[in-house]
Amino acid sequence: DGSIPSGLDFHVGHLLTVIAFCPNTTEVHIYKFFTDKWEKLHVLAKHDQIVSGIDWSRSSNKIVTVSHDRNSYVWTQEGQDWVPTLVILKLNRAALCVHWSPKENKFAVGSGAKSVSICYYEQENNWWISKVIRKKHESSVTSVAWHPNNIHLATTSTDGKCRVFSTIIKGVDTRGPQAGASVDWKFGEQIAQLDLSPTWAFGVRWSPSGKTLAYAGHSSMIYFVDDVEGSPAAQNLALRDLPLRDILFVSEKMAIGVGFDCNPLIFAADETGLWSFVRYLDERKVTPSTSKASQLSEALGKLYGQSRQGSSSDTVEPSKPRGGAHENCITCIVPLRKGSESIVKRFSTSGLDGKIVVWDLENHITIPK
């Protein structure tokens, strides 16, 4: 319909496939797939400004939404309706991103207020309250990612830095054997700061084991960092094309990057742990440009996600259609898992072209464990 999904999430079970997305408005639409088509089931209308982030918890079946109106709601399904619960964010700027923790007892909200709100449920008042990590970021927080231990949180910011914090909250986090040394950190304490990117940073993600952290820079770089809490070892990988906006680990040794090139990129690590670019996921045939002017035209076509079929001259050729699934910047990538699968075989992407695409990796590439 030409709308732009600014955030999306899937809920996949044994017998149903449901999607929640924001069509670049103040609403969140929930669709369900019936036989051969998607049908709208619900419209979540509570925010006053554009919804900037959505996350759907897999186990507890709750949807959390955040918006530029500085508010957040946790939606719980009661019968045929979705009922919102207020979240006390304590923000004076727009909320930009949100993510449930692995145990789904907390979620993190990044904001334009140079802060991160860690939210948890308070049974007594029936609302979600937050503890805020302040005075660490120098600019807006663009993405957040939870470590598998449910305590460490990685963030990226437009100040170019990637940071890792402790989010342990008394009465919410248990000090079990799986927590390890992470319980020694206090809430909001900065565990690591990575100054690898000279430009804005986006799309931070942990590998399934939590041993590797990856994020992207707006200078067409992707960074892989091992052993963040101990002695960090970083690899900087320069891309030949446009910058990434989001990253997803499909296994411990393979990751997918999406962004301004409108086509998912596959990265893989060899036996020594060295990461490299493999290929584009959405293969397509592109006629090579024959002049500097046509190369510039093609680059502009990539930047704006559109083909320029207008007037041409002897020295300027019209840009060729991209021919892939997406025609504009891909802004979001979400894993689609069933049960306790550790390897991501299917995932979805959404972009500024208003499209949501589901990808099946088993038909494209062998996934290393």
Report the pLDDT value the prediction gives residue 299, as an integer from 0 to 100. 52
The identity of residue 361, as a single letter, is: L
Report the pLDDT value the prediction gives residue 305, as an integer from 0 to 100. 46
> Could you list the pLDDT tens digit for every one of the 369 residues in the chain?
334 455 555 544 333 488 999 999 999 999 998 888 889 999 999 999 999 999 999 899 999 999 999 999 999 999 989 999 989 998 999 999 999 999 999 999 999 999 999 999 998 888 899 999 998 999 999 999 999 999 999 999 999 999 999 999 988 887 655 555 556 789 999 999 999 999 999 999 999 999 999 999 999 999 999 999 888 899 999 999 999 999 999 999 999 999 999 999 999 999 999 999 999 998 754 444 444 544 554 554 555 444 433 333 333 333 334 558 999 999 999 998 776 677 888 999 999 999 999 898 877 677 776
Report the pLDDT value the prediction gives residue 365, as an integer from 0 to 100. 73
Report the pLDDT value the prediction gives residue 7, as an integer from 0 to 100. 55
Q: How many whole angstroms separate alpha carbon 42 and alpha carbon 32? A: 9
Yes or no: say if 269 and 253 are a contact pair by the CB < 8 Å rule. yes
Report the pLDDT value the prediction gives residue 343, as an integer from 0 to 100. 87
Q: How many whole angstroms separate alpha carbon 153 and alpha carbon 156? A: 10
Yes or no: say if 91 and 69 are a contact pair by the CB < 8 Å rule. no
Domains of the chain plus CATH, in order, are 1-173+184-195 (2.130.10.10)
Name the CA radius of gyration of the chain, rounded. Answer: 21
User: What's the per-residue H, E or C state across the chain?
Assistant: CCCCCCCEEEEECCCCEEEEECCCCCEEEEEEEECCEEEEEEEEECCCCCEEEEEECCCCCEEEEEECCCCEEEEEEECCEEEEEEECCCCCCCEEEEEECCCCCEEEEEECCCCEEEEEEECCCCEEEEEEECCCCCCCEEEEEECCCCCEEEEEECCCCEEEEECCCCCCCCCCCCCHHHHHCCCCCEEEEECCCCCCEEEEEECCCCCEEEEEECCCEEEEEECCCCCCEEEEEECCCCCEEEEEEEECCEEEEEECCCCCEEEEECCCCCEEEEEECCCCCCCCCCCHHHHHHHHHHHHHCCCCCCCCCCCCCCCCCCCCCCCCCEEEEEEECCCCCCCCCEEEEEECCCCEEEEEHHHCCCCCC
225 contacts: CB under 8 Å, gap ≥ 6 = 162, 194, 196, 212, 213, 214, 232, 233, 234, 235
